[in-house]
Structure 1
């Protein structure tokens, strides 16, 4: 409302519009996996955005058959509500927030020309693209995250700021550790046995590399996931994917795919396979997309996208949505203004 009325807002970015809708048909909406969550995310926006509140409500209804907690209570931090330290809570909550933020962007006229998701972020991407109904997407994120809980306590993941080729050369001495995700030219995630991952990270740190252990106790995208293959496929057997309206770029396949293939098999492989985020961003750039909007409560993939853009030498921009401890309408409008100056 303030922007539409011409009122100056502190913190709004000024600039020259540098494109038309993000290049090839509109901006790319980017949906991360875990890592963007923070206590209180979305609570302020619930009170300040009718669209956000409406979609959080829709997500709560869609999730309700599969969870025994209230989405709104978790977002508001109501006493007795479960915390975001549980995988079967944080993943559905992040899904709901990301989908709802995407709808706020749409309400402002910023409509995606394509979507891309990282790990569990592909569930939100599929929903926003129209490839999964809200109900089926809720089923996938809620039931799959519940199954993942079986793996808790044995696995670990680590972040290594080196090219994937360099990381692969060093993994031979660490049994059960593999590459989980390739996020950027110098951004690789490893996954596997918790002790082996920690040991691997320490070796890199001893060489002056700022590697770190990620705060999770299960090993997504590793061989450990194969233990729950049957349970995941059974839980998601009734999911019915459909042809979406928005281009879906798969980080599992590293290419654009028809969303009608996003069945139980896909969502198991999404959990087990390597996340080819860097390769998929490169393809999006090749296909002419020039604006990436990270639809999340805190930008966690924007740096990786920016590094890929820089290495490719493309003329493209990356914009976040909310930020940690800046989760209200003012922050959203600031992000919208930034997107506008870059052609949204």
Structure 2
């Protein structure tokens, strides 16, 4: 199973060595380059090759997606072919492309529009990773109405997001219990009510995205994965931004 991450753990220089040493990775980046520039307005190759720092959702999300697609091509060249794909948050867009439900151009349009709209909310929210299971996190957040569960990372880890001061207060309380709690490298409180102002514009901008049936199983984190494969259209990507990941 290929699992595609969300954002928050990126670092300067990601992919630079692969670009120099792995011809398949470099070819995949070069193939994406014109579509990438057309959809998001800057060069993926230059960012990787120069080890340039990127910041803000409108830059970080497209670059991570470009790296993910090139890595998928590299793994396949070594004979590692996924039986299924799974994505976390923005990683679902890369998963949809690798599954064949979206073309690379469609996927980059989704991530370009998504990230540009999300960047408008920059600075209004904060995100934190807590060493709490979902039930414990929900119980704690009952005392913090400005903070919501934004993601379920594991049976023992929950991501929360909300107003920065409230998130910091949650971190302090959990850390006081001698449990891991820290901010994630994000400045937008995605998967919470902070996304509500952008949802209808996101839906309208992606209305012309016409997905295909995935060629390999796509395990959704938005709808019940035991049900039928969802249609990965504009409504799906709106839900992807708003619902916990």
SS of the residue corresponding to residue 266 of structure 1 reads helix
The answer as to whether partners of 1:144 and 1:235 remain within 8 angstroms in 2 is no
1:1-344 matches, cutoff 5 A: 28-77=1-50, 83-255=53-225, 261-275=231-245
Q: How many equivalent pairs are there?
A: 245
SS of the residue corresponding to residue 66 of structure 1 reads helix
SS of the residue corresponding to residue 169 of structure 2 reads helix
Larger Rg: 1
Q: 1:204 to 1:99 in 2, by over 3 A?
A: same
What per-residue deviation string (whole Å, max 9, x for no partner) do you get for residues 175-197 of structure 1?
22111111111010001111111
- Distance across 2 between alignment mates of 1:256 and 1:128: 20
Residue 67 of structure 1 deviates from its aligned partner by 2.3
The answer as to whether partners of 2:28 and 2:73 remain within 8 angstroms in 1 is yes
- Distance across 1 between alignment mates of 2:126 and 2:17: 33
TM-score under structure 1 normalisation? 0.69
- Distance across 1 between alignment mates of 2:30 and 2:228: 29
Residue 259 of structure 1 deviates from its aligned partner by 5.6
- Distance across 2 between alignment mates of 1:119 and 1:96: 15
What per-residue deviation string (whole Å, max 9, x for no partner) do you get for residues 41-86 of structure 1?
11111122221111111222222222222111111236xx6x3222
- Distance across 2 between alignment mates of 1:215 and 1:270: 20
Q: Which has the higher contact order (CA 8 A, sep 6+)?
A: 1
- Distance across 1 between alignment mates of 2:178 and 2:227: 40
Correspondence for 1:311: none
Please tell me the root mean square deviation across aligned C-alpha atoms, in Å.
1.5
- Distance across 2 between alignment mates of 1:101 and 1:256: 28
